[in-house]
Chain A
Amino acid sequence: MTAGGNVSAGMTGIDELLRGSLDHCVKCTICETQCPVSNVTPLFPGPKYAGPQAERYRVGGEPSVEWSVDYCSGCGICSMSCPQGVKIAEINAQARHKLKREHGIPLRDRLITRPTWLGRAGTPVAPLANFTLGFKPLRVLGEKTLGVHRNGPAPKFAGRRFSRWARGHSGPGTGRRIVYFHGCGTEYYEPWEGQKIVEILEHNGFRVEVPKQDCCGLPLQSSGLFDDARKVVLRLARALAPHVRDDPDTIIVGNATSCTLMLKREAREILGIEGDPDLKLVSERTYDICELLLELHDRGELKTDFRPVDEHIAYHAPCQQQGHYIGKPALELFALIPGLEVSEMNARCCGIAGTYGLKAEKYDIAMAVGADLFAQVEASGAGEVACDSETCRWQITHATGHKSAHPIDYLHRAYGL
C-alpha cells in the first residue's frame, strides 16, 4: 500500500500527500460502507464523495460550495479502511478548514475548542461551573445562544488540576526517565487518571517528569480552525521537546489517544506542519500509554504482579486510538489481569468525535452513530466500559449510564496501587 501521493515537486508536503493520494482512489466505496456518519444521516454525503470525488472539483481560488463537509466528524475511519491508501479524512479536514476560513467560525466553535481556557476558567469555580453545566434551563439557554446541545455530554470540572498534584508529588527520584503528556482532559476533568498513570510508571521503575504543558490543538483542528491549531500544537512541541532532546532514550507517553495522535501524525498530515524540528522530535518520541506498557511486556520489562480483578467490563477501542495503527494493546494488557472478563465491542464509533456531538445541530447524529455501540454495551451484560479516549467515555456514560474508565484504571487496580 502506498500512503503517499504521486506528484511532488514544488508542492508542500501536505498538498502533495492529500491531493496526490486521491489518484489512488478506485471508487470501491469501502470507505462509504464504513463511515459511521453517512450511514445515519443524509446530511453528510459520505467520505468518498466529500473526499477524493469532490476534491477534483476544488480549485484553490474558488470559494467553498459545500456545507455538507462540515458534517464529517473527522473520526478517520475512512482513511483507516481505505485499501488504496487514500487520505480521505485528511482531504475532508482540509475542505472543512477552507469552508470555516471563508464563512467565519461560530463563537461556539471558538469556545468549546479551547479546553485550556475552559479549564482555567472552570476549575476555581468548579461547583458553580458544574452546576451550570448540569442545570437544564441554563443548558437550554446555552443551546439557543451558543449552539451547544442541551444534552451534550459535558464533563465535570474536577475542581483541582493534575499538574498541581504532580508538582507536589515526590517520586522515587531514580530510574529511567519518562515524560508524561497528560493533556487537558486529565488536567481539568480527570486528574485521577494522571495520578494512576504516574503510579503505574513508577511501579515499573520509571522516573516520571511532568513538564508544564498545554492543549495539543486537536479541538481547534477538528472544527477547522487550522491556523490557531498550528500555533497551539507548536507551543506544545516547544514545551515537550527540551525534555527529550538530549537523551535519545527518553520518550513521551500520553493517555489521551486523540491528543497523542495529533502529535504523532495529524499535525503533519492534517495541519500540514512540515520541517519543525521540535514537532518532529516530539512526534517520533510519543507513545500511547497502552502501546508503551504492552511493548514493555513484550520485552519482559513490565511487572506482572497483578491481583485478580473480578469484574466483567466492556472495551471500546475509539476511532482515534485505531488511528495510531497499533492494534488494540489494551486488550492484551487486560488479558494479563486475572479474573478480568472483557467483552470487546464490535462497533465503529461512539459518535462524539471530540466536540462534534456537543454541537446542537450534530448531537442527534452523534447519538445515532453511537447507537450500535450503546446497544452492544447493554447487551454485553458488562458493568463498566473501558475506553482509551476521554470524550468517548463521557459520551458512552451519557448514553448508557454505565460508568466508564481508561484501560489504565484496571491495571492500577490489579497492581493494588
Chain B
Amino acid sequence: MATLTTDVLVIGGGATGAGVAWDAALRGLDVVLVDRGDLAEGTSGRFHGLLHSGGRYAVKDPRAAEECIAENRILRRVAADGIEDTGGFFVTTPWDDPAYADRFAAGCAATGVDCEEIDRAVALKEEPRLNPDVSRVFRVPDASIDVWKTVWALARGAQQRGARVLPYHAAVAIHRDGDRVTGARLRGSRSGEELDVEAGVTVNASGAWAHFIAEMAGIEGVRVLPGRGIMIAMNHRLVNTCVNRCQMPTDGDIIVPIRTVCVIGTTDVHTDDPDDHTVIQSEVDAMLDDGEKLVPGFRRARALRVWTGVRPLFEDAKADSTETRDVTRAHALLDHEQRDGVQGFVTITGGKLTTFRLMAEETVDAVCRHLGEQRACTTSTEPLPGSEEHATYHLGERLERKEQHLSDHQLICECEMVPRWKLEQTMRRRATTNLDDIRRLLRLGMGPCQGGFCIYRATGILHGLDGLTAEQADETLRRFLQERWKGVWPVLYGDQLRQARLDDWIFQGVLGVEHLPA
C-alpha cells in the first residue's frame, strides 16, 4: 500500500476544504486534499450561487452579516473570475411585514452592509419582471458566484504550490496514535485501491458529514444537524439582479441570476441523512408560488431542474430544535486538542459559502498552532488562478469568445456554448469517465435541453479520446442521463415537458439507450 506524507491532510473537497488547501499551500505547507466524490459535489455545489452581501443576516444575525460583507469585498478581488457583480435588491412584497424594511435598513447600517433605498420605478426599470406591487426596494452588493469554477481555482492554486488533490478518495479510517491523530486511510472509489496518508494535522472539512469523520477519529459529540433545501433553476435569467424578499429568512425568499439561468431558493427541512436528496412535490409547488410573488408569471416560465442541498448546521449544545433555520449559521471551528485533548485534528463545519475563506483562515491558523509555527495568512490579498486581473465574470463571455471563432470551433453543448477543443482538453486533464465531472467544470449539459443534444456527442468524443470500451461508454451515457433525469422529473410541465419528450425520442427512440450492451 502506498503512503503519502504531508503537513496537512484535508478531508472534504468543498469550498471550505479547498479553501483550507489553498490557504495552507500559500503558507508554504505541504497539503493533501481528498474527497469521497468530486470536488464541490456536495453542499458547495448544491446551492443557488449567492455571494451574500450580508443583507440577509442584517437583522437576525449581525455577526454573520459583518462576516459576509467583509468576505464579499475580499472575494470580489481575489476570486473575481468566478463572481458576477449582479448587485442585489431586498424588496418588500405585499406578503412581507412592511415594518421589517426599517429594521432591515437599520440592521445594514449597524453591520456595515452597503444598503441604499431606491425608488421603486428605478428598480422596475432595471428589473422589468419584478413584481410591480413591491412597496420598498433596497440595493445591496449581493453577487453570484460560480462555485465549481471557484473551488477548482482554489484546488489548482494549491496544486501549483505542491498540493496533491485526490477526488474520489474516501477516508475509510482515521489513524490515531494515543491522543494524536496521525493521518487517514483512503480508498479510491474508482481504483478500489487503498492509500495511507501520514499527516501532521488532519482537517475534517467534511461539512454535513463532519460527525462521521469525527467519529472515525474517536471524537464524541460533534453534532451536525443537516438541513435540506431545494432549489429550482429556470431556463433563462428572469432577473439580472439577486432579488431577495425583505423579511426574516424564510422559504423561497431569493432568486439568484447565475450564469445563463436564475435559481430560486430555498427550503429548510431537517433530515437525518446528509445524502438524502428527496425532492418533495409540495415543496416544488410552494417554491414556484414563492417565485410568483417576486416575479409574476414565474409559474409559466420554463423550469429546467430541481436539486437539493444539505446545509451543515452545527448544533449548539443548548439548542434542541429541529427547526434548522434557527440553528446558528455561523461556522464552528473545533480544535480537538482544546476540546478533547486530541492533537493533530481540527474540525471545521457550519458556516456558509460566502465565508469559506474566513473559515479556511481560522482553520489554518489552528493547524499552524498544532504544528507549532506561526505563518501569516495571505488569502485576502493573493488572487486565485484566473483572477489575477481582478476582472469579474460577465454573462456574455462565452458568446463573445465564440464570436471570435464562429466557424472553426464546433460547439458540442450548444446551450452552454462548450466548444469541442475545450471539452477535449478538459477530458484529457480530468482523465475521468464520468461526464458529470466534466459537467461541473464546463456546464456541459446544464442548459435548456439538459444534455439532450450534447451528451451523445460528448460520449462519442470521450470514447474516442479515452479508449473506453463500448460498454463503458454506454454506461457513461446512461449514468449522465439518469443524473439529469433526477432533476428534471419534478418539474415536468410546460416547455420542459416538451423538451423531455424530444430528448426521450432521441435517447430511447433513436438510440435505444436502455437496450445498449452493458
A135 to chain B, nearest CB (A): 37
Give the top 5 A-B pairs by smallest Cβ distance, nearest first.
A9-B296, A42-B407, A7-B297, A65-B400, A23-B302
Please pick, from A10, A25, A28, the residue contacting B124 in the complex, using a CB distance under 8 A: A10
Interface centre among A25, A56, A63 (most CB of B within 10 A): A56
Within 8 A of B (CB), among A123-167: none
**Total A-B contacts with CB atoms under 8 angstroms apart:** 114
* 14 A-B residue pairings within 8 Å (CB atoms): A7-B238, A7-B297, A9-B295, A11-B129, A22-B236, A26-B499, A27-B453, A45-B406, A48-B414, A53-B414, A53-B417, A57-B395, A62-B394, A65-B396
Q: Is A58 an interface residue (CB 8 A)?
A: yes
Q: Is B452 an interface residue (CB 8 A)?
A: yes
Within 8 A of A (CB), among B405-453: 406-407, 411, 414-415, 417, 447-449, 452-453
Which residue of chain B lies nearest to A69 when distances are taken between CB atoms in the complex? Answer: B403
- 6 new A-B contacts at CB < 8 Å, known A9-B132, A10-B132, A27-B453: A26-B495, A26-B499, A56-B447, A57-B260, A59-B240, A59-B396
Please pick, from A7, A56, A65, the residue contacting B260 in the complex, using a CB distance under 8 A: A56
B395 touches A62 (CB 8 A): yes
Q: Is B130 an interface residue (CB 8 A)?
A: yes
Chain A 25-64 per-residue mask, 1 if CB under 8 angstroms from chain B, else 0 = 1111000000000000011010011000111111111110
Distance, CA A6 to CA B240, complexed state (A): 17
A266 to chain B, nearest CB (A): 22
Contact-residue size bin, chain B (C-beta under 8 Å from the other chain): 35 or more
A218 to chain B, nearest CB (A): 27
Given contacts A10-B128, A65-B400, whether A26 and B236 have CB atoms under 8 Å apart is: no
Interface class of chain A by DSSP = loop
Q: Is B131 an interface residue (CB 8 A)?
A: yes
Cβ–Cβ < 8 Å partners of A67 in chain B: 403
Q: Is B4 an interface residue (CB 8 A)?
A: no
Interface centre among A7, A8, A28, A84 (most CB of B within 10 A): A7
Contact-residue size bin, chain A (C-beta under 8 Å from the other chain): 35 or more
B301 touches A23 (CB 8 A): yes
Q: Is A316 an interface residue (CB 8 A)?
A: no
A59 touches B130 (CB 8 A): no
A10 touches B447 (CB 8 A): no
Q: Is B212 an interface residue (CB 8 A)?
A: no
A12 touches B396 (CB 8 A): no
Given contacts A6-B302, A54-B399, A65-B400, whether A26 and B238 have CB atoms under 8 Å apart is: no
B297 touches A61 (CB 8 A): no
Cβ–Cβ < 8 Å partners of A20 in chain B: 301
Cβ–Cβ < 8 Å partners of B131 in chain A: 9-10
Distance, CA A28 to CA B452, complexed state (A): 10
Q: Is B480 an interface residue (CB 8 A)?
A: no
B296 touches A68 (CB 8 A): no
Q: Is A285 an interface residue (CB 8 A)?
A: no
Within 8 A of A (CB), among B100-133: 124, 127-132
Q: Is A15 an interface residue (CB 8 A)?
A: yes
A322 to chain B, nearest CB (A): 25
Chain A 61-100 per-residue mask, 1 if CB under 8 angstroms from chain B, else 0 = 1110111100000000000000010000000000000000
Q: Is B298 an interface residue (CB 8 A)?
A: yes
